[in-house]
Structure 1
Amino acid sequence: MDSLFYFLFLGCLSVLIFIIYRTSRHRRLRLPPGNLGLPFLGETLQLISAYKTENPEPFIDERVNRYGTLFTTHVFGEPTVFSADPETNRFILQNEGKLFESSYPSSISNLLGKHSLLLMKGSLHKRMHSLTMSFANSSIIRDQLLVDIDRLVRLNLDSWSDRILLMEEAKKITFELAIKQLMSFDPGEWTESLRKEYVLVIEGFFTVPFFSPTYRRAIQARTKVAEALSLIVKERRRESEAGETKNDMLGALFAAGDGGFSDEEIVDFLVALLVAGYDTTSTIMTLAVKFLTETPQALTRLREEHEEIRAKKREGEALEWSDYKSMPFTQCVVNETLRVANIISGVFRRVMTDINIKGYTIPKGWKVFASFRAVHLDHNYFKDARTFNPWRWQNNSGATSPGNVFTPFGGGPRLCPGYELARVEISVFLHHLVTQFSSWTPAEKDKVVFFPTTRTQKRYPINVQRRNHVKC
C-alpha cells in the first residue's frame, strides 16, 4: 500500500512540475494578448453561444476590438491563437505540413473518421487531395458532371409545391448530386434513408459533445452511415475485381495505383466528402436566395442574365458549359454570398514548432485558428463589409486585394478540391430557380443564424409561384 501511495505521489509531483514548467515557459514567451477563460472549458461556451446570434462574428469581433487581430483564447480543451489577419492566415495556409498541421477537436474527428481528407496528413493527404482535384476539375465538370447537375436540379424543382422549406430542398439537391458523383446512385429510397441519417450527423458538429444527446445521436447516425457505405464499397470492389468499372469517384479510388485504398479509408473519405458537398453548398444556395430576396435590384439583374441564356435555347434543352461561362453576374452573386455568409468560418491547425508571428511567439503544440469570415467581414478590406452587394465583384471594385483576403475555400495544399463544382451547382440552381418561378416570398420571418441550433432556423420556408409557361 505504501508503494502505491509513493507512486501516486511521484505521478502527481511530475504532473505539477510539468504544469509549472510549461506555465513559466509560456510566461517567458511573448504570447498574443487574450484570456484563457475557465479551467479546461476556457471560452468554449462563449464561442458556441455567440454563434446563436444574428451577428456573424460576435466572438471574434469582441476580442479583436479588445486585443487586436491576433489573440489568445482557450477553446475545445486547448489553448488556441485566433487570427483575423489576412497575412497571418495566408502564412498558416501556405505552411501546411511545414510549420502547421491539420488538427481538429476530437468531437469533429469522431464524426468525420480518422481517414477523412480533412484529417489526413503528409503523402496520403497529398495523394488523396490530388485525386479529388482531378475528379472535380473544370474539364470533368464540363464533360461528365454538368449533365447530371442540370438534370437533378430540374428534377427537384419540378416537384416543388406552392410552399417549400428551401433549406431542406437544397439539401436534397446537393446530397443527391454528391451521391451521384461519388457512387453513381440516382435518387431513391436508399439515398433518402441515408440522407436522413446525415442530417443527424451534421447536427453533431454544432453541439458540445459532453453529455449531449444530440452528439450521441450524431455518433450513432455516423455508425449507420458508415455501415451502409461499407456494404456499397465491398460490392463495388467485387465488381471492380471482376472487371466492371464505373466513371465515378468510387471507381477512381479503386483504380488508384500504389496499392489502392482500404475499405475503411474509402468509407471515411466518402463520409467526409458527403459532409462537404452536402451541407455547405446547400446552405450557400439557401442564403443566396435569402439575400437576393432582400436585394430586389440584384434579383432583377440576375433574372435578366438567365432569361438571356434561356431565350437562346430550345424548350427542355439542358444547360451547357458555354451557358455556365456566360453568367458573370451570377458569379458576383455567388462570390458575395460566400463572403457575407462564409459557411467555412476558418480552419484549425496545430503548431509544429515555436513560431514567431507579428512580434508574438506561438508555442509548439498550441492550436491556431485562421478565421476567413472575420477577414471577409472587415471594413478595412471590403467597403460596407456587412452589406450584401454583388456589384462589388464587378472589376473587383469592392475589395482592396481580393486575391489575399477572399478565401472562402481555404488555400494552400488544403484548398477545397470541390470549389469549382460547388460554384457550378449553385449557378445551375439559381438559373432554374429564376427561370421556372416568377416570384417567391419568405413564408415566415427567418433569421440568419451562423451557428445553427434548431431545425426551424435552418429550414427557411418560402412561398413560390411557378410560371405558367416555362421553357426548361
Structure 2
Amino acid sequence: MELFISFFLLLTLPLFTLIIRYITVSNPNNNNNNKLRPPPGATGLPFIGETLQLISAYKTENPEPFIDARVAKYGTVFTTHVFGERTVFSADAETNRFILQNEGRLFESSYPSSIANLVGKHSLLLMRGSFHRRMHSLTMSFANSTIIKDHLLVDIDRLVRRNLEMWTGRILLMDEAKKITFELTLKQLLSIDPCEWSENLRKEYMLVIEGFFCIPLPFFSLTYRRAIQARKRVTEALHLVVRERRLERERGVKKNDMLAALFDNDCDDVMFSDDEIVDFLVSLLVAGYDTTSTTMTLAVKFLTDTPSALAQLKEEHEEIRARKGASLALEWDDYKSMPFTQCVVNETLRISNIISGVFRRAITDVRIKDYMIPKGSKVFASLRAAHLGQDNFENARVFNPWRWQKTSDSTNFMPFGGGPRRCPGHDLARVALSVFLHHLVTRFSWVAAEDDKLVFFPTTRTQKRYPIMVQRRNVVE
C-alpha cells in the first residue's frame, strides 16, 4: 500500500504549502543547527524549487532523468527542493535500507493529510506506532506462505482461469489484469466471488484510484471530485457488507478471510468500529488492485520484447502442465517448481518499480554517510534509482531474468520496501503473478497489437494499457 501512495506526494501539495514551506524551511538560516552539513544539492527557484524540472524530466523515456542528473553532479545522496519543501533524495541502496529499517526510531512516514480523504484516516498507510505494528502483523499473518498454501492458492488459480476463459481477440491487458487482481483481493478480504455487485464496486474503485494523481482540491479538479464521490459510494457498499457479516457472526457463521480476522482480533474488550474496518479494507483493496495488475502487465510486455526469456518460461510451464494435466489446479509444489518464473518475477519487479520510492521525515538529527540530516527534514528513499543503478546491477536498465540465476544477493533489491512498513502482501503478489503467467503461457499465444511504451510518472505503466492480440492454444482439459 505504501509504495502505491508514495509518489502521490509529488502531486498533492497546494500553492499555499509551497509558499509556507519555502519561507520556513528552505532558508538554512532558520535552522539553528547551522553546523550540520546536509547533503549537497540545489534548491532552484524561489517557492517552486526544482518542481518544474522534476515534472518535465519524467515526461521523457528515461526512467530516472531527474535523479540521474543530480547523482552525476552531487552523488547518490543529495538535496533538492520540490513541491514546497527541501527534500533529501537517496539513490543509494545502503542508505535506503537504513532509512526504512529505522522507521519509528529515526524516521517516520510522512504523508499530507489530504491523502486521508481517499484512503481513510484509519488506513494502514497512515497508522503509526504500536497500532500500526499490530495491524501490519495481522495483515501479514493473513497473507503469508502458509495461508496462501492452505487457503488462497486454490482461489487464485480458479479466478485466474475464470478470467482467461473470457479472453478472445484484441484485449487491453492492463484492464484484464486489474479485473483479476481486484477479484483476488475481494475474495481474500471478504470472501466475495465475482458478480455484478463486485464489478460495480470495481468501477467505483477505478474512479478512486484516478483521484490519487490529482491535486486534492475538489473545487478545481473534476477528477478529484469524482474520486471523493466514488469513495463515498465504496464505503457505503462496504459498510453494508460489514454490518451483514457482524450479524452472520452472531448467528455462528464463520468465514476464513481478512474481515473475519479483524472481528477475531478485537482485544481489551474494544472492538474495531465499522468505520475503522472499512477504512482498513479500502486501503488494502487499493494496495492489491493496482500494483499487482501493473506488474502482471509489464511482465508480459518484457517477455514479449524478450523472446528467449518467453521461450524458457513456456518450457518450464509446459513441463508442469504435462506432469499434472491442464484441468488440475496448481498446487504449492507446482509453484515451488518454477525457478525461472521467479527469475522473471524478480526482474519484472526490479526494472518496473511501479512506485519510485517512499517518503519519510527525520524525527531527530540523523547522520548518514558524511552528512547530517537535520530533524524535520523530508527524505525520499528512491528504490527505483537503486534498482537501476549500474553499481548495483550489471546492465541495470536491461530486462535480464537470467541475472537472478547467478545471484541470490538481495541487499540492493527492495521492490516491496523494507523495515516495519514492508508491503505485507509481498508473498501473495509473487504467487498471483506466477499463477497468472502459468495459465497465460500454457493457454495462449499473443502478439502486441500496437506499439506501447512505458511511462514513469506518476507511476510506471504502459501508455496505452498494453493492447495484445491473443490466440487460444489447443489445450486438452
TM-score by length of 2: 0.90
Instruction: Pick the aligned partner of 1:148 from 141, 144, 155.
Output: 155
Deviation at 1:22, TM superposition (A): 5.4
Cα distance in 2 for partners of 1:299, 1:380 equals 27
Cα distance in 2 for partners of 1:38, 1:82 equals 18
Contact 1:206 1:453 in 2 (8 A): no
Q: Which residue of 2 aligns with 1:179?
A: 186
**What code does the residue aligned with 1:261 have?**
F
Q: Which has the larger radius of gyration?
A: 1
Contact 1:310 1:471 in 2 (8 A): no
Instruction: Pick the aligned partner of 1:137 from 134, 140, 144.
Output: 144
Indicate the larger mover: 16-25 or 232-241: 16-25
Deviation at 1:93, TM superposition (A): 1.0
Deviation at 1:309, TM superposition (A): 0.1
When residues 21 and 373 of structure 1 are mapped into structure 2, their CA distance, relative to the original with a 3 A threshold, is closer
Indicate the larger mover: 191-200 or 223-232: 223-232
* Matching of residues 49-448 of structure 1 within 5 Å: 49-210=56-217, 211-258=220-267, 259-396=270-407, 402-437=409-444, 439-448=445-454
Contact 1:43 1:74 in 2 (8 A): yes
Q: Which residue of 2 aligns with 1:11?
A: none
**What code does the residue aligned with 2:254 have?**
T
Deviation at 1:74, TM superposition (A): 2.5
When residues 457 and 26 of structure 1 are mapped into structure 2, their CA distance, relative to the original with a 3 A threshold, is farther
Contact 1:163 1:461 in 2 (8 A): yes
2:456 is the alignment partner of 1:462: no
Contact 1:253 1:266 in 2 (8 A): yes
Cα distance in 2 for partners of 1:38, 1:223 equals 39
Deviation at 1:28, TM superposition (A): 4.0
Cα distance in 2 for partners of 1:356, 1:130 equals 30
Deviation at 1:209, TM superposition (A): 3.4
When residues 20 and 285 of structure 1 are mapped into structure 2, their CA distance, relative to the original with a 3 A threshold, is closer
Cα distance in 1 for partners of 2:83, 2:248 equals 43
Cα distance in 2 for partners of 1:118, 1:454 equals 20
TM-score by length of 1: 0.91
Cα distance in 1 for partners of 2:27, 2:40 equals 20
Look up the SS of the partner of 1:301 in the other structure. helix
Contact 2:25 2:85 in 1 (8 A): no
Deviation at 1:64, TM superposition (A): 1.2
Deviations 1:49-95 (A, max 9, x none): 43333221122112212221111122343321111111111111111
**What code does the residue aligned with 1:111 have?**
L
Contact 2:446 2:471 in 1 (8 A): yes
Contact 2:183 2:193 in 1 (8 A): yes
Look up the SS of the partner of 1:144 in the other structure. helix
Cα distance in 2 for partners of 1:71, 1:220 equals 40
Contact 1:253 1:260 in 2 (8 A): no
2:46 is the alignment partner of 1:35: no
Indicate the larger mover: 131-140 or 20-29: 20-29
Deviation at 1:265, TM superposition (A): 1.5
**What RMSD in Å do the two structures reach over aligned CA positions?**
2.2
When residues 132 and 19 of structure 1 are mapped into structure 2, their CA distance, relative to the original with a 3 A threshold, is closer
When residues 124 and 304 of structure 1 are mapped into structure 2, their CA distance, relative to the original with a 3 A threshold, is same
When residues 455 and 335 of structure 1 are mapped into structure 2, their CA distance, relative to the original with a 3 A threshold, is closer
Look up the SS of the partner of 1:203 in the other structure. helix
Contact 1:182 1:248 in 2 (8 A): yes
Q: Which runs of 5 or more structure 1 residues have no equivalent in the other structure? A: 1-14
When residues 458 and 100 of structure 1 are mapped into structure 2, their CA distance, relative to the original with a 3 A threshold, is farther
Deviations 1:224-255 (A, max 9, x none): 22222122122222322333221100110011
Give the total of aligned pairs.
452
Deviations 1:116-148 (A, max 9, x none): 111110110110011111100111101100001
Contact 2:449 2:468 in 1 (8 A): yes
Contact 2:356 2:459 in 1 (8 A): no
When residues 206 and 58 of structure 1 are mapped into structure 2, their CA distance, relative to the original with a 3 A threshold, is farther
